[in-house]
Amino acid sequence: MKIGCPTEIKAQEYRVGLTPTAAAEAIAHGHEVIVQAGAGDGAGYTDTDYTGAGARIAADAAEVFADADMIVKVKEPQTAERKMLREGQILFTYLHLAPDRPQTDELLTSGATCIAYETVTDGKGGLPLLAPMSEVAGRLAPQMGAYTLQKANGGRGVLLGGVPGVFPAHVVVIGGGVVGTHAARIAAGMGAEVTVLDRSLPRLRYLDDVFGRTFKTGYASKTYTAQLVAEADMVIGAVLVPGAAAPKLISRAQLSDMQTGAVLVDVAIDQGGCFETSRATTHEDPSFEIDGIMHYCVANMPGAVPRTSTQALSNATMPFMLRIADRGWADACRADPNLAEGLNIHAGQLTNRAVGEAQDREAVDPSAVL
């Protein structure tokens, strides 16, 4: 199979879909790898690194899309890229279709087979291809929130860890999954007073058993959540429903109860955001203010640390990429129901129920097209 890796063109996206190591693995399996010139520059990989691994360098994205049987990316294809997809081609990347009807429409029209990293499962309720970026985003969230809390950036002017004689900032993390756990660990490590809210008692027990007094935990009832949010210096939204639009956890009306200059960090913005007032931002212009509350809603947070993020993502995606290339997408999905969960679109048909529900359109079960 010919595996193509184009340069990411989303604003301030410096990650790359394949590392030279992943390219070498694919070539060792008998496949051809085509990498766009400069694709790895942002993550610190040169064209020479790829040619040394045996890959062919293509002059531009058009050559990659024209030659490749499978396109491996990081972010969802942008408008110009969607126009280059063709019937029968495989797209393997993050898609986050639920809040993005225009992308869904164009991918359906393309006739391509689109497998989304974020809906591949592991049989234990986990999302193995989302987890690495969730770990990175979770660890970045307090760091970015702390920066936004500075007065010059619109925040309350509160130091996350405080100083002797001055209380630390109060950070509320809504969601105790991968993102929330990593966010809580880093925020607590920076000296903040941290509370993690979740509605799963088993998860709360796990967090308490593992982390003890590192941070507090609480049940995410509406009343208790509203109370803590009103007192918080920073709120990190870390709730994800696989494939679906993120639930809205804080309404605009609640902003008036918060402390002026408090910060909302919306890690679920790729799935539409978990605060009513969220809208996607970029690393170039990462935050905005509504009703006195700062919002940090960068849609590709891990792109800020592309070297780490690319390596972590490639470690997770490479086995699945090789399986698809070795066996073909259909046979690979038939052999692995967890990979089949990643199938979102095939030949003009939507194959993810959560996306269908979010967009109020019909979706077929993946088994119907395998």
Residues annotated as catalytic are 96, 270
Number of alpha carbons in the 13 Å side-chain half-sphere of residue 196: 33
Give the integer Cα–Cα distance in Å for 239 and 178: 10
- Work out the number of other CB atoms within 10 angstroms of the CB of residue 106: 17
Angstrom CA distances, 120 to 63, 73, 281, 310, stand at 28, 15, 26, 18
Give the integer Cα–Cα distance in Å for 313 and 133: 7
| DSSP notation for 130-192 | THHHHHHHHHHHHHHHHHHHSGGGTS----TT-BTTBPPPEEEEE--SHHHHHHHHHHHHTT-
- Work out the number of other CB atoms within 10 angstroms of the CB of residue 166: 9
Give the integer Cα–Cα distance in Å for 236 and 289: 16
Cα–Cα–Cα angle for 183, 186, 189, rounded to 5 degrees: 145
Give the integer Cα–Cα distance in Å for 137 and 130: 10
Angstrom CA distances, 302 to 14, 79, 132, 179, 351, stand at 9, 22, 10, 12, 27
Q: Do residues 220 and 74 touch, judged by C-beta distance below 8 A?
A: no
In whole angstroms, how large is the CA radius of gyration of the chain? 21
Number of alpha carbons in the 13 Å side-chain half-sphere of residue 239: 22
Q: Do residues 273 and 246 touch, judged by C-beta distance below 8 A?
A: yes
Residues in the chain: 370
- Work out the number of other CB atoms within 10 angstroms of the CB of residue 201: 10
